[in-house]
Amino acid sequence: MPMNVAHRGASGYEPENTVLSFRRALEMGADAIGIDVHVCASGEVVVFHDDTVDRTTDGFGKVSEMNLHALRALDAGKGERIPTLQETLDFVGSRMKIDIELKETGCAAPVREILKYAVDQGRSYDDFFISSFIRPELETMRSLSSDVRLSVLFNWMTQHRALEFAESIGAYSVNADFTLVDADLVRAVHEKGMKLFVWTVNEKEDIDRMRALEVDAIFSNYPDRV
């Protein structure tokens, strides 16, 4: 069975990247959550997808230019607050794995510190995946740690030499837009000793097709369908 990854939490049901969506994912039996991170102006790593808060909160402005206090004042949906990465790790504990997508340059080092602390406290590096479209960020993360599981994200625009790059940094997986996936890609990734994770698969017929292709993880806004 592929790993069932709740994309931004159970974001088909609850506000994305909030504790409410993570709790819903847990209730729906997800094996993992896939979250996004930025570093805010005061230096904390916060769980948020877009560069600006405009789409998913009642405020406006760039995440990188707002401090934690300002971000905390926003309503991220249903009264939820934007969580920090540390709070998310604390909430999830050992109940689910976490895929952490680095959304901007400069995330790797602070995220690595948080993971190292978690591992020092008894967690395992195997409980986390660090993914990104930003290849230099993944290279930075690898230079900081040989233990972290890295995942190379790609879509139609960024697929060029993705597998070769993934091999070069000793990636654990490549994470593909599911519309790119066919049997040849599954075979090529597995022959290189890596896993193939796919996103974002929401329709039942697409989920069934991905399962038949024997991908290793399915990211969905609807973990109950997976």
Q: Which residues are catalytic?
A: 7, 49
Cβ atoms within 10 Å of 169's Cβ, excluding its own: 15
Among 128, 178, 199, 222, binds ligand G3P (CB under 6 A): 199
Closest CA to 166 of 196, 203, 186: 196
d(CA 178, CA 166): 18
Among 2, 34, 77, 223, binds ligand G3P (CB under 6 A): 34
Between 33 and 74, name the residue whose CB sits nearer to ligand G3P: 33
Indicate whether 36 belongs to the interface with ligand G3P (CB under 6 A). yes
Indicate whether 57 belongs to the interface with ligand G3P (CB under 6 A). no
Q: Which residue is nearest to ligand G3P (CB)?
A: 199
Indicate whether 222 belongs to the interface with ligand G3P (CB under 6 A). no
Between 36 and 137, name the residue whose CB sits nearer to ligand G3P: 36
Closest CA to 48 of 93, 83, 79: 83
Indicate whether 2 belongs to the interface with ligand G3P (CB under 6 A). no
How many chain residues interact with ligand G3P (CB under 6 A)?
10
The site map against ligand G3P for 102-141 (x = CB under 6 A) is: -----------------------------x----------
Site for ligand G3P in 77-106 (CB under 6 A): 101
Residues at the site binding ligand G3P, with contacts judged by CB under 6 A: 7, 34, 36, 101, 131, 153, 175, 199-200, 219
